[in-house]
Structure 1
């Protein structure tokens, strides 16, 4: 409880500081010079403005509720305090990233998130958690390598801060956008997000709401506030956002694991944010990031409470008796699930519905808009499918127990206020997120029809009897990431003689001679590498030429 109290105090401090700075529209930059390379100063920069303070408030408030929930969820764990300290380092790393203004300070929080998230995902030491931790670490290392490489361009431009940029720096901005895509699980780096579900539920509530997955989105928003993104960067974000949104919603319709369905819903919502950034609305994307963080944390805590009552059962086909034993928790779960589709009067209605309306009037390819509409229908489908399975189906399990603990109820109550009223609150607090959209009745009816169509199909199809290897592996990305080390195994075998030294006569390096078919034929008949490559090319060409 002591950490929860400290985090709540930090969130109150952020609110008070935000209020004081908003009166004069102030921004503070703190620069600390470590050394000087010729005429190039090397140091780190801290930025304190309305964006960083508002995001830090959301992170610390959610973290306080999650820590309170974890005190009950993990109280019987043998290494409880080890878990709490790793979780605290995770939150601190996110706050370092939020207030960072230079690439070195950014890497401090960026790498801190990667290392602490790896330690939390593999916490249970099972084969599933080890596999999920490996995928998460591998995807994050790709983004780390891109950011480290971008420091060369920063040195050429004579600065190590990304807060002040010009239009001629578009290659640097493009590299940072790609690095952000790895952290925010955008296609083709999406497979690690559902695999991270092997972590304890409090970790999932933080990872999928306001910390790890939002780090990349926040970085792109920072770049958008400094200069307008180039057309190549916008096209990349629109493509990645649309495909990721479709991928998450489509795959969730074939899942029966409750936590994995929520994880795939996070993937879909991240695609909506990235799509919004590609359209050129960073303020609206930040608005949806805040609302999504609040209701997604509540959704995971409600799901964790359901898992506690069902003694760890995660199959939605076996959770039909939950509404009888815990009606209040199920009501919270249903209301939060409706936030995913942007139901009226809820928080996401003020952000997601506005993004979809602006999409219909934005100049883009027809395929992009059609993909987002299909993804919206899939979102409504899996939301109503889960609600019917958990809330309205007949009791299946007889060994469920009601969970009524003060710390759990208190955390759910605090986040419930945010999940319901945060949309209206942020729209009043920051008027720049409000957009006036004058649209014909046909366009509004089209959005409503798509949502209703998905809801009806979700109510009809309760359980997913069929399975799809194509969707369960997220377009064959999972086997590619899990066995990525096998792709280079043949190359490493050929380079074994390098251990003797570069000048030894016995050195036989046949980098050019080894057969390409051996590289691409892994893993046997399921040629994941080739399939992912071909699929990525087809998607890119489709979005490039369909107008």
Structure 2
């Protein structure tokens, strides 16, 4: 437990230092680039870059702040865990990988952080070591490996440029940009790679609060923000716009029919990721980063509140069995209210400042009418599933056991109250300090009221379809809640690859056994009694290979 306290204090200190440093860099309009040359080969330089500007410092400060609060939260949530130090090491490895990726403008160092994120997140998803965790971990790692392969191919293709520094890129390198785009949409779970994010909820709740709400899933968006100027005006950015709008709509629709508490919050994360990618694809990278920072704060708080409810309800995650919790856990209820209202974009909470700005900027752009309608419907669906969640947990009748013993923990409450206060003030604070202090949009009053009308429409959807169950939508809920059958698509795709890789594994294993035991140890002994031409042939082939290798090196 002392290790958790020390790490949490250290990260909180880093949060304060990096935040003030980012304010300083922004006010002074400064950025620093540190470069180490490791070696060069045929005029290709292998360098390590560190980019320190206000964007990277602000993102690191938010990651450190959320991590420190989640470590305090984990002291209570995971106190009965046997291998607690292993959990702390995995979380620390994840945070370190995230920091490495944030400060890297170089594809090689980005790859180090990227693969560190993938490995540590896989280990955290399968932490509970049961069938559901292994299944979810396999889907997570297979989806993310597609993006990792894209990044590896981008590293290979950058040989054409002569450097792995991203500032040597241009719009002409379409294939490299396509690979970076593939890496980004897999990590941020856009269609058709959306299936892994709800399945990753098999991880412990502190992991979901840190990894699957605020850091890992935003790594792809952060990468796209850094590479954004190379994508402008191309076909890839148009494809990203379509994918992000459909991701928003699909996840919002599915969240209205889901009953698992953590999966509903995961789908709301997916919806917000689609919103960030959508505004990013319209060329407004700074606005997307603004929403990314604010979303990280209130969404991690939402997961922490869900963890308290799950913990107190005997590990029950079904919202149909919970109710009247506002009488027993008032601090958690208050934090949950604030984070949910911030998610909906309630006026003058943190989410309002970024979401309202995004919607206003979207109205001023030349956008396809059908896609605009889908965006506005996604906005209404966000309000609908948030109200459904609040109603089910706090106002419906309690079901299940006849007696519950509820109690709140002071340490958990402190971490949630800290994030709740930031959820109240972070929107206005960040807007005044960093973003758009002199931003002014002029539009017609009826256009301005479209957002408010769609929010009211979301309340009508909640009251009509779910409170009164009009149109009997639950008859069709299987289609709405099945991720548009993407999981079956992955079963069809991955099954053949897994069978082929198993055959290669068996062949590889037999070759290794043959090389180490049968060939090298028994070759001379066997040749006395009988001639195994195959073994002799393999031995001669290996000797020739090593001779050729020595000749090439010399």
Under TM normalisation by the shorter chain, which class is it? 0.7 to 0.9
1:203 and 2:212 are equivalent in the alignment: no
Query: Separation in 2 of the partners of 1:218 and 1:497?
Result: 40
Equivalent residue number for residue 222 of structure 1: 226
Rg larger in 1 or in 2?
2
1:129 is matched with: 133
The answer on whether the counterparts of 2:177 and 2:231 sit within 8 Å (CA) in structure 1 is no
Report the 3-state secondary structure (helix = DSSP H, G, I; strand = E; otherwise coil) of the residue aligned with 1:209.
helix
Greater alpha carbon shift after TM alignment, 183-192 vs 31-40 = 31-40
Instruction: Kindly state the Cα deviation for residue 230 of structure 1 after the two structures are TM-superposed.
Output: 3.1
Please give the residue correspondences for 1:488-499 in structure 2 after superposition, counting only pairs within 5 Å: 488=497
Q: Encode CA deviations 1:446-491: one digit per residue, 9 max, x unaligned.
A: 2212111111221341488546333333111123334533234787
1:40 matched to 2:44: yes
- 2:477 aligned residue: 468
Number of the residue aligned with 2:160 = 156
Q: 1:366 offset after TM fit, Å? A: 1.7
2: CA distance between counterparts of 1:69 and 1:86? 16
Tell me if 1:334 matches 2:337.
yes
Distance 2:45 2:12 in 1: 37
Partner of 2:545: none
**Cα offset, 1:140, TM superposition:** 1.1
> Is the CA contact 2:37–2:48 (under 8 Å) kept in the aligned structure 1?
yes
Greater helix proportion: 2
The alpha-carbon distance between structure 1 residues 152 and 441, as it changes in their structure 2 partners (threshold 3 A), is same
Matched, 1:373 2:382: no
Distance 1:450 1:48 in 2: 40
2:374 equivalent to 1:344: no
Change (3 A) 1:227 1:489: closer
Give the equivalent residue in structure 2 for 1:144.
148
TM-score by length of 2: 0.86
Give the corresponding residue for 1:323: 326
Is the 8 Å Cα contact of residues 250 and 378 (structure 1) preserved in structure 2? yes
User: Alpha carbons of 1:84 and 1:360: their partners in 2 closer, same or farther (altered >3 Å)?
Assistant: same
- Check if 1:58 corresponds to 2:67: no
Quote the residue 2:281 is aligned against. Answer: 278
Deviates more, 1:29-38 or 1:188-197: 29-38
Contact kept? 1:325, 1:400, Cα under 8 Å: no
Moved more, 457-466 or 468-477: 457-466
Q: Return the match for 1:300 from 289, 300, 303.
A: 303
CA distance in 2, matches of 1:434, 1:262: 34
Structure 2 counterpart SS, 1:476 = helix
Moved over 6 A (4+): 489-501
Q: Find the counterpart in structure 2 of residue 15 from structure 1.
A: 19
Aligned length: 501
Question: Structure 1: how far apart are the matches of 2:262 and 2:221?
Answer: 23
Q: Is the 8 A contact 1:207 1:213 kept in 2?
A: yes
Q: Does 2:110 correspond to 1:103?
A: no
Q: CA contact under 8 A between 2:209 and 2:300: conserved in structure 1?
A: yes
Residue pair 1:166, 1:227 contacting (<8 A) in 2 also: yes
Shift of 1:70: 0.4
Tell me which moved more, 226-235 or 6-15.
Answer: 226-235
User: Aligned equivalents of 1:385 and 1:211: distance in 2?
Assistant: 26
1:42 deviates by 1.1
Between the aligned partners of 1:433 and 1:253, the Cα distance in structure 2 is 36
Offset at 1:312? 1.4
Asked whether the 8 Å contact 1:254–1:467 carries over to 2, the reply is no
SS at match of 2:18: helix
User: Shift in Å at residue 407 of structure 1?
Assistant: 1.2
The runs of 5 or more residues in structure 1 that have no matched partner are 505-547
Q: What's the offset of the Cα at 1:153?
A: 2.6
| Corresponding position of 2:77 | 73
1:403 to 407, 415, 419: 407
Q: Contact 2:290/2:435 (CA < 8 Å) preserved in 1?
A: no
1:338-358 deviations in Å (ceiling 9; x for gaps): 112211111111111211122
> Structure 1 residues 409 and 236, CA, compared in 2 at 3 Å: closer, same or farther?
same
Q: Per the alignment, do residues 211 and 489 of structure 1 end up closer, same or farther by CA in structure 2, a change over 3 Å counting?
A: closer
**Pair 1:245 & 2:248 matched:** yes
1:8 and 1:169 map into 2 onto residues whose CA distance is: 41
Deviations 1:394-415 (A, max 9, x none): 2335433333222101101110
SS at match of 2:483: coil
Distance 1:365 1:9, change over 3 A: same
Which residue, out of 170, 182, 192, partners 1:166?
170
Counterpart secondary structure, 2:191: coil
For residue 477 of structure 1, the aligned residue among 473, 481, 486 is: 486
Q: Which residue of 1 aligns with 2:517?
A: none
Task: Give the superposed CA RMSD.
Answer: 2.3
**C-alpha contact 2:93 2:120 (8 A) present in aligned 1:** yes
- Which of 250, 263, 266 in structure 1 is aligned with 2:266? 263
- Quick one: structure 1 residues 436 and 207, their matched pair in 2 at CA, closer, same or farther if it must change by over 3 Å? same
Residues 46-72 of structure 1, C-alpha deviations (whole Å, 9 max, x = no match):
111100000000000000000100000
Q: TM-score, normalised by structure 1?
A: 0.87
